[in-house]
Amino acid sequence: MLSLITRPALSKYRSLWRSSQAAVRAMSSSGGPSPPYTTLAVSHPAEFVTHVEFHRPEKRNAMNRTFWREMVELFNELAVNPDCRAVVFSGAGEVFTAGIDLMDMANDVLQPGGKDTARKCWQLRKKIVAYQETFSVLERCPKPVVVAVHGACIGGGVDMITACDVRLCTQDAWFQVKEVDIGLAADVGTLQRLPRVIGSRSLVNELALTARKMYADEAKSSGLVSRVFPDKEVMMAGAIAMAEEMAARSPVAVQGTKINLLYSRDHSVAESLDYMATWNMSMLQTDDLMKSAQAAMEKKSPKMVVFSKL
């Protein structure tokens, strides 16, 4: 398996990960979620880097109704927060996520409300669209999101990670599009994003129709993840280091790059080039361009350049 970081840097990044964990604990005396959130812990392990941790370890990070709402609230805030330039998302406890909390969500799905079929369908559609927003907000956030998966990533977890920009995992990680096993078609992103992530319709169809598990080696070879790490500690160190590299670059350049990558995914080459030209006719006028060019000529690291907040 390939690793993002070299052995000589391992001790440094292990220390960085321990520091980030200390930051999480400092946010809450119990080491749990960060108020006002009850399912998410938020910390800042490096300058301009935000670490968001799904924190329901006692429930295997199952996605309850509160989680779906808090994700939208938090990432809408991070999208406009000038002190955040890159995000790392991970899960607390033994697994990344066990997927939807069926016990908590049952009433929303089975009892949508309404006096007749049309009204019940209308209410249920509103709920599904709201749940879709929970993961679309990751994609729409202009800050790059690096997701770090360990253990199991089931059902809604696959919906979620396909909306992130970079996916990393541990050697023991596995992924499962579980929805057909519980009597429904995945409806919050997997069936729309996974084909674009993996690129093989046959493999996507197999995973979605059989609900079989995909393990780390296959996830990497298929393109679902870009790096596989030996354990969670090393993975988190690598994820934070990667986010720190992103955060060190011009926020105008990084956020513009994410926005245009997403646009090009959903549009033709000609349309994307036209959009890019319109985008950069203004963005190329940033002072960041001269600062970056000067640093390159002086053989300085981007981390030595001070970019204005965006």
The torsion defined by the Cα of 42, 33, 12 and 248, in degrees rounded to 10, comes to -10
Beta strand 145-149 pairing with 152-154: unpaired
User: Whole-angstrom Cα distance, residue 225 to residue 162?
Assistant: 10
User: Whole-angstrom Cα distance, residue 48 to residue 308?
Assistant: 12
Find, among 19, 86, 81, 11, the residue nearest to 242 by Cα: 86
Contact call for residues 135 and 158 (beta carbons, < 8 A): no
* Residues designated catalytic: 100, 156, 159, 179, 187
User: Whole-angstrom Cα distance, residue 248 to residue 184?
Assistant: 43
Find, among 55, 59, 29, the residue nearest to 42 by Cα: 55
| Tokens 């929805």 -> residue | 179
Burial profile 198-215: b = 16 or more Cβ within 10 angstroms, e = fewer: beeeebbeebbeebeebe
Contact call for residues 303 and 248 (beta carbons, < 8 A): yes
User: Residue 297's Cα: distance from chain center in Å?
Assistant: 34
Strand partners, 147: 89, 167
Contact call for residues 55 and 39 (beta carbons, < 8 A): yes
